[in-house]
Amino acid sequence: MEIRITTKHILWVLYILAWIIFIGLSIEAGGILFNAFYTLFIKPMGAQFFWNKMDLSGLYTADKVYFIIVTVLMSIVAILKAILFYIIIRAIHHKKLNFTQPFNQYLPRFISYLSWLAIGIGIFSSWGTNQSKLLLAKGISIPDIQKMGFGGADVWFFMGVILIVIAQICKRGVEIQTENDLTI
């Protein structure tokens, strides 16, 4: 008996994994937003027990503006990551990724969206990292950069640039395929 794994099976597994990651990232983004709102407007002690067991009380007591900046950056990074996986889910769900004819009009646009989202995540992660370093230099205690979700900005930039190159290759593939379809 031969077990045959097809592209359809792989896409189904990736679809499920993308949903799991999307739900986790959405919960994270919502948790950060809720905790920031709760800390700012309801109970300032919430900074001590922030999302993911982070203690932002030192930051909150030092300067509320810095607290807002850091939590907004954390929220933006988490939201952009969730949007990235939502676009992947949407593409798989609506069957826009066609492997019988891979170079269609949707593929370069899809990869381009992913690349710009990755670059956006890299920009805001880098900004958050720099902000954290600035706060540490001022003597304000903050959690680890990885725990706040700012780690890996260079990886996100790298992925974004590679995806831009792949999007341009796919765009050229669409052009060649269209020319071949017109010649026949």
CA 91 from chain centre, in angstroms, equals 16
Cβ–Cβ < 8 Å for 72, 131: no
- Domain assignment present for 51: yes
- Domain assignment present for 2: no
CA 105 from chain centre, in angstroms, equals 24
pTM for the whole structure: 0.87
Parent domain of 167: 7-96+103-183
Q: How many domains does the chain have?
A: 1
- Domain assignment present for 31: yes
141-183 tens-digit pLDDT = 888 888 888 888 999 999 999 999 999 998 888 888 777 766 6
95-116 tens-digit pLDDT = 777 666 777 788 888 899 999 9
Q: How many percent of the chain have pLDDT more than 90?
A: 43
- Domain assignment present for 62: yes
- Domain assignment present for 64: yes
Euclidean distance between CA atoms 56 and 70, whole angstroms: 10
Residues 6+ apart with CB under 8 A from 173: 102, 103
- Domain assignment present for 169: yes
